[in-house]
Amino acid sequence: MTTSLDSLTVLVTGGAGYIGSHAVLALRDHGIKTIVIDNLTTGYRWAVPADVPLIVADIGDFAAVSRTITQHDVGAILHFAGSVVVPESVENPLKYYANNTANSRTLIEAAVTNGVRHIIFSSTAATYGIPDHVPVAEDAPKSPINPYGMSKLMTEQMLADVAKAHSINYCALRYFNVAGADPKRRTGQSTAGATHLIKVAVEAALGKRDHVSIFGTDYDTPDGTGVRDYIHVSDLADAHVLALKALIEVPEESLTMNCGYGRGFSVTEVLDAVDRVAGVKINRKFEGRRAGDPDALTADNSRIRARLPWTPAYEDLDIIVTHALAWEKELERRAF
Ligand code: UDP
């Protein structure tokens, strides 16, 4: 039986990806024995530290996951593997229900079958859809407006049902807008063709794009552009380690918690920050709204603040942008 973090091996699915690779670093920095399973479709081998075993396999492969769990005596799983592009989920919903829902079902079955006791699941604020009120709390209605959000919500539901039926507890962490990069530049957001605002803006600041589009200027927000709750990926990674501790300490409890700082910045404020930090003036193009974008989406984070001793270190928007920019330069230096 799992009793402490010291005696535990943690399996990180998607540990070669953006958020997963930061979680691996956080676990490793806490001295927790960690292994990674990743099919490397969007992840990178280099993103997994050399002393962390990497099993190249799909989480939908029951035999491979089961073998990994038993061979390494895995006691807990941090589950990041999945597809994350919202517009793609609208065009190709079955890909999302396969990668995010069906494969999660297989992973959870392998976990239950092989005696894993704790699962932390990478969920999303997209489960709320367009909330009636912001900041949005965990018990607000869940009405995803795209297959991505629904595919994650379905996995949350599976976990809730499984936790009632088996000796396993889970924590679903609903991420808001994840940005930034490891302050030591060991990993960062590396996907080509990224669409997320801060990544797009730092690329533009370095001349990799000639402009940034501002999608909508008529939102019901102070300056008319969309407002989001940007959270530094390393603070988010730390929340996973703390959530794991909580699951181990109280095995009969499962948790669902928002991960955001509880404050929002508009698109204009983000672009101003990138201009300021990079010392440039990004070319801004005003365009129409993107389908399905809410006016404002910020987290009520009172639950995570009350339940975990989470003290974010990088709440400042300029720091998030500084780290995102430093990683973008690192990508250039390494010529990825
Ligand atoms: N956004 C924008 N231009 C871009 C990318 C995003 O104006 O090139 C806006 C988008 O409409 C939203 C905010 O920036 O208001 C954050 O969007 P992002 O795609 O980063 O994350 P999302 O909130 O959609 O998950």
Q: Is residue 166 part of a domain?
A: yes
Active-site residue, 148 included: yes
Percent of the chain clearing pLDDT 90 (strictly above): 94
**Whole-number Å distance between alpha carbons of 93 and 73:** 35
Pocket, ligand 1, Cβ cutoff 6 A: 177, 195-197, 200, 212-215, 226, 228, 267, 290, 293
Residue 192 falls inside a structural domain: no
| pLDDT of the residue at 292 | 81
Is the pLDDT at 3 greater than 90, yes or no? no
Residue 146: the pLDDT is 95
| Position 168 in a domain | yes
Residue 196 has pLDDT above 90, yes or no: yes
In a domain, 215, yes or no: no
- Which ligand 1 atom minimizes the distance to the CA of 219? 15
> Which residue has a Cα nearest atom 24 of ligand 1?
293
Strands 74-79 and 118-124, how do they pair?
parallel
Name residues whose C-beta falls within 8 Å of residue 286's C-beta, 6 or more positions apart in sequence: 213, 214, 217
Residue nearest to atom 16 of ligand 1 (CA): 197
pLDDT in tens, 148-158: 999 999 999 99
Q: CA separation (Å) from 179 to 4, 93, 248, 304?
A: 31, 25, 28, 19
Q: Is residue 278 part of a domain?
A: no
Tokens of 69: 């769990």
Give which of 104, 96, 165 is closest to 126, Cα–Cα.
96
By most ligand atoms within 8 Å of CB, the mutation choice from 86, 124, 196 for ligand 1 is 196
Domain of residue 164, residue span = 5-179+231-259
Whether residue 197 is contained in a domain is answered as no
Question: Encoding tokens for residue 236?
Answer: 């988010």
> By alpha-carbon position, which residue is closest to atom 20 of ligand 1?
196
Residue 241's pLDDT band, with cuts at 50, 70 and 90, is very high
88 CA from centroid of ligand 1 (Å): 15
Residue nearest to atom 19 of ligand 1 (CA): 196
Q: Residue 185: pLDDT band by 50, 70, 90 thresholds?
A: very high
Band (pLDDT 50/70/90 cuts) for residue 291 is confident
pLDDT digits (tens, 9 = 90+) for 73-94: 999 999 999 999 988 999 999 9
Ligand 1 centroid from CA 213, angstroms: 9
Distance in angstroms (rounded) separating the CA atoms of residues 125 and 228: 11
Catalytic residue among 18, 128, 148, 230: 148
Is the bond leading into 135 cis (omega within 30 degrees of zero)?
yes
Threshold 0.85, pTM exceeds = yes
Query: Which has the closest alpha carbon to 123: 158, 161, 75, 74?
Result: 158
- Whether residue 18 lies inside any domain: the answer is yes
Q: Is the pLDDT of residue 2 over 50?
A: no
Is a pLDDT exceeding 80 seen at residue 1?
no
For position 101, which CATH number holds?
3.40.50.720
State the virtual CA torsion across 220, 225, 231, 232 in degrees, nearest 10.
Answer: -170
Ligand 1 mean position, distance from CA 302 (Å): 25
Q: Whose CA is nearest to atom 7 of ligand 1?
A: 214
Q: Is residue 196 in some structural domain?
A: no
Backbone angles phi, psi at 271, to 5 degrees: -65, -35
Mutation to probe ligand 1, out of 152, 189, 267 (largest number of atoms < 8 A from CB): 267
- Domains in the chain, number: 1
Distance between Cα 43 and ligand 1 center (Å): 22
CA-CA distances (angstroms) from residue 284 to 195, 200, 220? 15, 12, 20
